């Protein structure tokens, strides 16, 4: 219930200003230029402007880097352990379960032959999203995956992997030819072509929105439940709010796992569909 | 990136409220791209390749070990069967040898018995013949002896009874008979 400390101060500020302002919820969800460690202080992040683009380091960038750093450290350790002995133990064992899960339950069944080529991307995306999701559940941390720019970029990468994978396997023109299902009347072909091309874009769009919405919603619900205490200005709702917030928090652990799985699973599925078009 | 911009255009054409969760920050897109791409490259090099390789290696090792164990088991079973068969065969052979030995011994015994019977019969025959021969010999010897004894006795008798008067009487009588005729 780390939200409490900062949520309390924010809510008090909102109450002082006298408005029924919900801005403090957004303050926790949105990206910002500073790392909040209330009541200990605030770290201001550097602003960078290059080629007319705002490349400032924001809160979500920091936590993405933290996730990446964690992953690199963990897997550096794991692969070092593998070099020592073939029998895994400790953290290697746990990571191996996840790696084998992505390989045997996600990549192999959905892509089939030639799945090895896409395994590094799928594993990276899976672990990156998983770590970002979990970091969002850590006190004072932020969820990078609840930012639509991040999820859209991830989805765009999946989109590129899907298209390039399909084109490598089937050839540039063969890939677009394969998009149209066999055995349809020829006058339907232009319409089907447009529909299928649209479909290519809606898939990653759905990927981005799904991850973003899921990761944002849980946090908003937790904050709203805690905010109820300050909106109603009574201690009576505290047990209800806290227990419900705790429940949502536990649910969020599940959601963090499920969303990482779904993003990877669907990316893998779409790669499989583009890679083996005959199915 | 392109998609992100499309999203931005789609979502914010209605007018941006400051601080909406649907805000797309192009800087963040670039940072995400850079972070994930770098993470992909680094993890691929330091983690995925060695981990997946060693996983495959281990799986192969386990599969091979299982196959080997299975093969060894089958071989052992075969060997066991073979041993059992060999044992059976050698037992049968031993039985045969014993049987043969017994038969040979039986035959030998019978033959020896037969031989000894024949020999004894021959010996008996020979003995009988010998006895008969000896008998005959003894008999003939006896006969000779008896004849000798008889002749010598007759000689003695003849020597004692031969005197003149008697002889004369016999002769005269004989002569008288002759003259009467």
Chain B residues with beta carbon closer than 8 angstroms to that of A30: 19, 21, 23
CA distance B72 to chain A (A): 24
| pLDDT at residue number A7 | 55
Mean pLDDT, range B13-39, rounded to an integer: 72
| pLDDT at residue number B90 | 93
| pLDDT at residue number A104 | 86
* Rg of chain A, C-alpha, whole Å: 22
The span from the CA of A74 to the CA of B39, in Å, is: 13
pLDDT tops 50 at residue B95: yes
Which residues face A49 on adjacent strands? A54
User: Which member of A23, A124, A150 has the closest CB to residue B32?
Assistant: A150
CB pairs under 8 A between A and B: 144
**Residue A254, CA distances (Å) to A247, B65, B168 in order:** 11, 38, 183
Q: Are strands A49-50 and A53-54 parallel, antiparallel or unpaired?
A: antiparallel
Mean pLDDT, range B44-53, rounded to an integer: 84
The span from the CA of A154 to the CA of A136, in Å, is: 17
CA distance B13 to chain A (A): 16
Number of alpha carbons in the 13 Å side-chain half-sphere of residue A136: 33
pLDDT tops 60 at residue B9: no
Q: Do B48 and A120 touch (CB under 8 A)?
A: yes
**Residue A88, CA distances (Å) to A30, B14, B127 in order:** 40, 54, 105
Q: Are strands A41-44 and A49-50 parallel, antiparallel or unpaired?
A: unpaired
Q: What is the DSSP string of A208-267?
A: HHHHHHHHHHHHHHHHHHHHHHHHHT-STTHHHHHHHHHHHHHHHHHHHHHHHHHHHHHH
| pLDDT at residue number A9 | 61
| pLDDT at residue number B86 | 94
What SS3 class is residue B91?
helix
pLDDT band of B15, cuts 50, 70, 90: very low
Who wins on pLDDT, A82 or B151? B151
| Residues in chain B whose Cβ is within 8 Å of chain A | 1-4, 7, 19, 21-33, 35-36, 38-40, 42-44, 46-52, 54-55, 57-58, 61
A69 close contact with B: CB closer than 8 A: no
| pLDDT at residue number A22 | 65
Report ipTM (2 d.p.).
0.79
Mean predicted lDDT score pLDDT of chain B: 84
Q: Do A53 and B26 touch (CB under 8 A)?
A: yes
Number of alpha carbons in the 13 Å side-chain half-sphere of residue B119: 6
CA distance B70 to chain A (A): 22
User: Which member of A26, A65, A124 has the closest CB to residue B43?
Assistant: A124
User: Which member of B2, B28, B38 has the closest CB to residue A61?
Assistant: B28
What SS3 class is residue A44?
strand
- Which residues in chain A come in under a pLDDT of 70? 1-23, 86, 278-279
Q: What one-character DSSP code corresponds to residue A68?
A: H
Cα angle A59, A63, A66; round to 5:
140
Q: Do A96 and B24 touch (CB under 8 A)?
A: no
CA distance B73 to chain A (A): 25
Selected residues 46-65 of chain A with any CB under 8 Å from a CB in chain B? 48, 53-58, 60-61, 64-65
Cβ atoms of A235 and A168 within 8 Å: the answer is no
| pLDDT at residue number A116 | 81
Q: Is B63 exposed, middle or buried (0-12, 13-18, 19+ CB in 10 A)?
A: exposed
Q: What is the DSSP string of A135-171?
A: HTTSTT---GGGSHHHHHHHHHHHHHHHHHHHHHHH-
Who wins on pLDDT, B159 or B84? B84
Does the CA dihedral B9-B13-B18-B19 come out positive or negative? negative
The span from the CA of A214 to the CA of A216, in Å, is: 5
Q: What is the pLDDT of residues B121-149, one digit of tens each?
A: 999 999 999 999 999 999 999 888 888 88
Q: Do B31 and A120 touch (CB under 8 A)?
A: no
Q: What is the DSSP string of B98-154?
A: HHHHHHHHHHHHHHHHHHHHHHHHHHHHHHHHHHHHHHHHHHHHHHHHHHHHHHHHH
| pLDDT at residue number A21 | 61
What SS3 class is residue A77?
helix
| pLDDT at residue number B66 | 94
Q: Which residue of A has its CA nearest to B30?
A: A55
């Amino acid at each position: 219930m780390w939200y409490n400390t900062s949520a309390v101060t924010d809510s008090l500020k909102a109450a002082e200003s006298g408005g029924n302002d919900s801005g403090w919820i957004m303050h926790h969800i949105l990206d910002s230029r500073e790392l909040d460690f209330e009541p200990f202080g605030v770290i201001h992040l550097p602003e960078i402007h290059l080629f007319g683009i705002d490349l400032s380091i924001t809160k979500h960038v920091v936590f993405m880097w933290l996730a990446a750093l964690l992953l690199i450290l963990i897997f550096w350790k794991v692969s070092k352990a593998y070099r020592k002995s073939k029998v895994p133990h400790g953290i290697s064992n746990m990571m191996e379960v996840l790696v084998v899960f992505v390989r045997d339950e996600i990549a192999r069944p959905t892509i089939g032959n030639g799945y090895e080529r896409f395994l590094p991307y799928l594993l990276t995306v899976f672990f990156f999203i998983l770590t970002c999701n979990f970091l969002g559940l850590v006190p004072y941390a932020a969820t990078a995956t609840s930012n639509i720019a991040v999820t859209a970029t991830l989805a765009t990468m999946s989109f590129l992997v899907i298209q390039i994978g399909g084109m490598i396997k089937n050839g540039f023109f063969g890939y677009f030819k394969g998009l149209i299902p066999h055995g349809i009347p020829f006058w339907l072909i232009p319409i089907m072509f447009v529909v299928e091309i649209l479909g290519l874009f809606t898939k990653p769009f759905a990927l981005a929105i799904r991850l973003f919405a899921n990761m944002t919603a849980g946090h908003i619900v937790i904050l709203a439940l805690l905010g109820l205490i300050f909106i109603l200005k009574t201690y009576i709702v505290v047990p209800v709010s806290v227990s419900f917030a705790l429940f949502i928090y536990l649910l969020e652990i599940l959601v963090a796992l499920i969303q990482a799985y779904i993003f990877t699973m669907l990316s893998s599925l779409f790669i499989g569909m583009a890679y083996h078009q005959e199915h | 990136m392109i998609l992100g911009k499309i999203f931005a255009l789609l979502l914010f054409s209605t007018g941006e409220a400051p601080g909406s969760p649907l805000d797309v920050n192009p800087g963040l897109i670039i940072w995400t791209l850079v972070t994930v791409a770098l993470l992909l490259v680094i993890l691929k090099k330091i983690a995925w390749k060695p981990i997946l390789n060693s996983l495959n290696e281990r799986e192969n090792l386990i599969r091979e070990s299982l196959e080997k164990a299975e093969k060894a088991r089958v071989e052992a079973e075969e060997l066991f069967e073979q041993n059992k068969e060999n044992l059976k065969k050698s037992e049968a052979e031993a039985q045969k040898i014993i049987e043969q030995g017994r038969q040979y011994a039986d035959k030998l015994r019978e033959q020896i018995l037969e031989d000894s019977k024949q020999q004894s019969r021959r010996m008996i025959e020979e003995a009988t013949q010998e006895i008969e021969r000896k008998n005959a010999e003894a008999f003939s010897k006896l006969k000779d002896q008896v004849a000798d004894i008889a002749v010598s006795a007759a000689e003695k008798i003849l020597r004692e009874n031969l005197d003149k008067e008697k002889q004369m009487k016999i002769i005269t009588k004989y002569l008288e008979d002759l003259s009467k005729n």
